Chains A and B, each alone.
Chain A
Amino acid sequence: MPVFYGTDIASRLMLGTAQYPSPAVLAEAFRRSGAGIATVSVRREAGGGQQGQDFWSLIDSLGVTLLPNTAGCHSVREAVTTAQMARELFGTNWIKLEVIGHADTLQPDPFGLVEAARILTGEGFHVFPYCTEDLVLCDRLVTAGCQVLMPWGAPIGTGLGLNNIYGLRSLRAHFPDVPLVIDAGLGLPSQAAQAMELGFDAVLLNTAVARAGDPAAMAEAFAGAVAAGALAHGADPMPPRDMAAPSTPVLGKAFLA
C-alpha cells in the first residue's frame, strides 16, 4: 500500500468529492470504494452561508484522510494563497497542487508548478503536484521537494484513460522510489487496473465515479480493478511477444492427419 510523506494509506484508490448527485450518494460511494483519501477544495462562502459547515460535517463523517486542492488556480500566487487558506481550514499540510496553464485541456503549467511547489515546500507543506508525465518536469518537482508525483492519465474529466503509456512507463522506471499516482482522465475501472499493472502506487479519480449512473457501484468496481491491477503487478506479468506460442504441449499430440 502507498506511503505518502511517511503516512501509510490503506487503499490505492483516492476519490474526489465533487459532482455527486447527493451527499448520501457521496457517502455510499466512499464506503463501497474503500478509498483512504478524499480530495476537497475551498470556495467563496456568502455571509450566513451554511454550505461550508454542512460539507465539513459530511466529510468529517467519512473517516478518510483529506487532501485539499488548489483547483482552478492559474497563477503561482493564487495557488500559494489558496494552499495557505486550505491548510488552515482543513488542518492539514497536505496540498494537491494544481497550477493550470491551458484553458481547454487544463494542462498543468509546468513552470508555475515547480515555482509554487518550491514555495509551498519551504512553508512546510507536503505537496502532491498534479503534473504531466514529462520526465524533466518531474525531476524538477522532486528537486523542489515533492515526495509524491501525480501525473495525469488524460485531461481532467475526459475519461480517456492512459494517453501516453510509454511516458508513464518511463516515469515509473525513472522514479522507482517516488510514490506515483495517476491523477485525472480515468473513465473506466479497466484503465485504473492498467495504471496499477504499470506499477503506479495509486489512482485519483472523481468524475468517473460521481457521473456514473450508479456512483456507489462504480466506486466498488474501481476498488476491485485497482486491487486486481496491483496484485497483477506484484505477480510479475509475462512480457508480450509478437509471435504465437502454443500453450498446450505439442509433445504427445495424437497423429490424426
Chain B
Amino acid sequence: MNITLNGEPHEVTGPTLADLLVETGQSGAKVATAVNEVFVPATQRAGTPLAPGDRVEVVAPRQGG
C-alpha cells in the first residue's frame, strides 16, 4: 500500500500505523505520530488502520527556541 510518510512516498506492508513503525524500525523509538493531520496517541497505533494515500507524520524531540 502506498502512503506518504513525512512528506515522501512510502510503501507499507502491514495494515496499521503500529506495523508501519515496526517496518521503519521505530516501534520502540521516542516518536509521536499523526495520520492525515490528526494526532494518534501511541496507545492507539495498533488500532489505527492505514489506507492508501494516507499522510503519516512521525516526529521526535528536537532543538527549539
Contacts and interface: CB of A to CB of B under 8 A. Distances in A.
A75 to B, nearest CB: 9
A227 B57 CA distance: 42
Contacts of B33: 85
Interface stretch (A35-43, A109-117, A171-179): A35-43
Interface in A12-45: 16-20, 26, 39-45
B62 A51 contact: yes
A59 B63 CA distance: 9
A39 B64 contact: yes
Interface string A167-201: 00000000000000000100000000000000000
A93 interface: no
B6 A46 contact: yes
Contact of B32 (A18, A51, A88): A88
Contacts of A43: 59-60, 62
Contacts of A84: 32, 39
B54 to A, nearest CB: 15
A87 to B, nearest CB: 9
Contacts of B62: 40-43, 51-52, 55
Interface of B: 6-7, 23-26, 29-34, 37-39, 41-42, 57-65
